[in-house]
Structure 1
Amino acid sequence: MTSLLSRRKIWKNHTMANEAKPCPCDIGDRMEYGGLGQEVQIDHIRAYVVKPITASDKAIIVIQDIYGWQLPNTRYMADMLATNGYIAVCPDFYVGKDPWSPSNDWSKFQEWLEDKKPTSITKEVDAVLKYLKEECGAKHIGSVGFCWGGVATHYLALQYPDIKAGVSVYGIIREQEDRFDLKSPTLFIFGEKDVVIPLDQVNALEGKLKEICKVDYQVKIFPGQTHGFVHRKREDINPTDKSSIQEARRDLLNWFNKYM
């Protein structure tokens, strides 16, 4: 097995190869983590599914960042939800298309994104909701997403009243005018030093939610933190970030516990 140090070197070399225009989401650590769940076929997509030890009728859709549904960090978050009593499913919302790679040219990102819009996932979400209800017995369903998945979670909160709660982690819809009338309680988590989502956009979101939103919501900014801190930094090797990482994870669990 490749050592963690070797993986870091590979990760660093990928980043250095693209120094001229690096991906701003290429922050944090990829875990060496295998996962507790299994991969299944849900209609036309693959998905990672993990269930709690005791039976549960509560489920969370875990939505990937730009590095795809197989990123170990995201599966770690799904497993964390399962250990806290939730069925967790992380579907391949790219439907077999290649995820972003740190060795890609960042100037080509919009071109890569063109057929992977986080607001164009209705077919996949419908299939996952059907699976959770019919195959897993889920009666209460929430969603959490990171980066690309945070945008998708924001979208689901606008479109799916069946989804009882959402946690959008460093993700925000920016191109739609009608993006503030949430249908389900939503927690937004951001890092103060996130270059992908600067604070003026976060403040604008909060201001509009205060004006328009009729359901419960919270916008929380973590001082000193960057994009990716909740699921891309490991508390055991980033001691200065440990308290923020753990607090954010408690926040998302508490949000689901409250509304589901």
Structure 2
Amino acid sequence: MIDKQFPSAAEAVADIPDGATLAVGGFGLSGNPMALIEALHAHGTGDLSVVSNNCGVDDWGLGILLAARRIRKMTSSYVGENKEFERQFLEGDLELELTPQGTLAEKLRAGGSGIAAFFTQTGVGTQVAEGGLPRRYNPDGSIAVASPVKDVRSFDVDGEQRDFVLEEAIRTDFALVHALRGDRHGNLVFNKAARNFNPLAAMAGRICIAQVEELVEPGELDPDSIHLPGVYVHRVVEVGGDIEKRIERRTTRTQEGA
């Protein structure tokens, strides 16, 4: 078996070139591979096309790459927490392929499973299937790039004809993910909500780089507890359990009797 451990996040991402495509794990700020994102930012890599559920916030997650104008295109399902994202998109500096969340998840999973495309009912009868969704604006507000028309076919489902839209799978040059625990062979265990898009992003990347809070020896992980087998993971970096973990919004209320 191959020892996939890298000594640092900087060395793990050093060969990601300008113009690369990336699949990045995380949902909101949960499970963001921050050490890898910060290393990529420090390395100066740019002109990136990124596939991730969202683009972080203005000063955290993928937002730090966006603020530095390192991202040229995002493929996401939710973009509502980042003012800089809104500004760049509306002013024509950023391309956005807005994708339904379940469809995005399946596009990543399909890419990692060797499935070229699949049919889904999600988006039928909308601009997702019919085309015309703005992907990039001109500075004057007109549409520079619009989404294309997609193939729609009818299938028999329980004796009823229903329309389905064809969605192509996603494969990226690299994937960046965060896991709670991993071993030197790349087997990964995710923690609760941080499991979100991380396994799917890992599957879609031709080269998957995983940051783990704890690195253990092969054989120490219970095989039944492994969420992602090492066959999908190519590099592993231990970042420790004391890394900063943020949430988008903290909501509190006064405790009764306090």
TM value normalised by structure 1: 0.32
Greater relative CO (CA pairs within 8 A, separation 6+) = 2
Bigger share in helix: 1
Q: Looking at CA atoms only, which structure, 1 or 2, has the larger radius of gyration? A: 2
